[in-house]
Amino acid sequence: MKRWKLTDENDRTHGGCQWSEGVEHTAPGGEPCTDGVIHWYADPLLAVLHDPIHGGYGETAHLWECEVAETGTDGLKCWGTRCRTLRQVPLPAVSTEQRTRYAIFCAMEVLPPPNTAWAEAWQGWAEGWLAGKDRSSEAARAAAIAARAAAIAVMASDAARAARAAWAAAWAAKEAWASRAAAWAAARAAEEARAKGKSIDPRAIALRAVSEPKAGE
């Protein structure tokens, strides 16, 4: 099974684990985010988009095509018991606009019905942003504040995750926050979908986010 793995610029991952062309490592098995498994991604785009809340390797990261023995995935990352790095490949370039589109599309997947006041207001902002009508910091901040307030108000309910996804997506529209906020929006949206017994397809959403023409084109 072909997958992609990120390392730092020295080809190392968590705990100083060293990788290079043709290197193979194994793990005993277990839950994700533990030393019992090795992590990777189903698509190079997902590696770049989610790195800010996973490895945090940044723009100097190395991306490797690899062969794996996969045991699970949460849609954002994958994991398993064996990984062999085959060759280093170019790191995809993802712009701030593309990250923001990805965040918005993810949040839209789990947004409450439009008759929910905050969701209707957020949807209006998001559609306007996607159309290039209002990408001001003020508008993004207002959308973020509304979604954050909703998340706090419904903290004990499933809707809180959707509100947090929307909140993060709005913050992704602010360039300084784009990378991490976009990744968090995807994570919260995936959690909300799982809580409802559903799923989202981050890979399809990412491909849409980077392939759609920019506003005004």
pLDDT digits (tens, 9 = 90+) for 21-59: 999 999 999 999 898 999 999 999 999 999 999 999 999
157 domain residue, yes or no: yes
Q: Are residues 49 and 124 in the same domain?
A: no
Backbone angles phi, psi at 24, to 5 degrees: -125, 135
Within its chain, how far is the Cα of 127 from the centroid? 20
Q: Are residues 68 and 128 in the same domain?
A: no
Q: Are residues 132 and 101 in the same domain?
A: yes
Q: Are residues 84 and 113 in the same domain?
A: no
- The angle at the Cα of 112, spanning 107 to 115, to the nearest 5 degrees, equals 130
Share of the chain above pLDDT 70, in %: 94
Which domain covers residue 47, as residue numbers? Answer: 2-89
Q: Are residues 137 and 41 in the same domain?
A: no
d(CA 22, CA 1) in angstroms, rounded, equals: 15
| pLDDT given for residue 154 in this prediction | 59
Q: Is the pLDDT of residue 153 over 90?
A: no
Among residues 89, 118, 143, which one ends one of the domains?
A: 89
Q: Are residues 54 and 104 in the same domain?
A: no
Among residues 46, 73, 89, which one ends one of the domains?
A: 89
Among residues 49, 74, 89, which one ends one of the domains?
A: 89
Q: Are residues 73 and 102 in the same domain?
A: no
Q: Are residues 6 and 84 in the same domain?
A: yes
Q: Are residues 109 and 45 in the same domain?
A: no
Is residue 133 classed as helix, strand or coil in its secondary structure?
coil
Query: How many domains are there within the chain?
Result: 2
Mean pLDDT, rounded, for 84-95: 96
Q: Are residues 102 and 204 in the same domain?
A: yes
